[in-house]
Amino acid sequence: MNLNSPQIRGWQIQPPAGGWRIEMEILDQKFIFGGGPQSIIQQISSIQKKNSIYESDEVIWDYCNAIWCKRDPKRCLSERAMNENNISSTKSKALRFLIALRSLVKNGMKPVDMAMAEERSRICSRCPYNKRTENCGMCISAARAITKGLLGDRTTLYDRRLNQCDCCGCELKAKVHFPPSNDGITYPKHCWVTKERNSGKVQ
């Protein structure tokens, strides 16, 4: 299936079947949220905060993303929908990476020191494999929410230049802050992952 077809890039063209709409129970009270995706997230966040049950925008994005993808999977570029439609995309890899990284962080993985993150970011910012993916508003917003949940206020001087790695598909703004895994991917010689592998720093 062509990634440029309206069926796949439909998030940019029109909302999913039934519109940007979410039905949700909060403290045994049923709410119906409407508007754009960002507006819906803000509405849910606001009600949760007022009732002291705020889960984070990241968790809310996950929930809404799952509902919208289930409702209209052919317009969704989530990992599940991509697999069902036999489509491969750097963006789906970026989301998969962030979800996996979030799990590792919850299990105790710690970020590297900022000096190392800055140096990695500098290398990635100049790398030809640092590429921007197709712009699916909802999925990119979900990725940003997960990244913010992982990093908080932790940023580098090169963040504005970082996109996704065309070698592994990872979200570089997040990847540079954490220990790399031995994923079996071949990276270019100038890549910090290659350098750290050669120095024995990769587990």
Beta bridge mates, 164: 131, 171
pLDDT in tens, 89-133: 555 677 778 888 888 888 889 999 999 999 999 999 999 999 876
Q: Give me the half-sphere count of Cα atoms (radius 13 Å) on the Cβ side of residue 125.
A: 13
DSSP code of 171?
B
- Predicted confidence at residue 35, as pLDDT, reads 87
Position with higher pLDDT, 13 vs 113 = 113
- Predicted confidence at residue 15, as pLDDT, reads 73
Which residue has 């439909």 as its token pair?
Answer: 10
Q: Give me the half-sphere count of Cα atoms (radius 13 Å) on the Cβ side of residue 28.
A: 0
Q: Distance between terminal CA atoms of the chain?
A: 38
| Band of pLDDT at residue 166, cut at 50, 70 and 90 | confident
Distance CA 96, CA 36 (A): 24
Of the listed ranges 62-66, 67-71, 103-107, 136-140, the least confidently predicted one is 136-140
Could you give the percent of the chain with pLDDT greater than 70? 77
Domain boundaries along the sequence of the chain:
10-84, 92-198
Sign of the torsion formed by the C-alpha atoms of 93, 99, 105 and 109: negative
Please determine, for residue 196, whether its predicted confidence score (pLDDT) is greater than 60: yes
Q: Are 48 and 172 in contact (CB under 8 A)?
A: no
Q: What are the residues whose beta carbons fall under 8 Å from the beta carbon of 143, sequence distance 6 or more?
A: 91, 94, 95, 98, 171
- Predicted confidence at residue 110, as pLDDT, reads 92
Total-model pTM: 0.61
Beta bridge mates, 25: 30
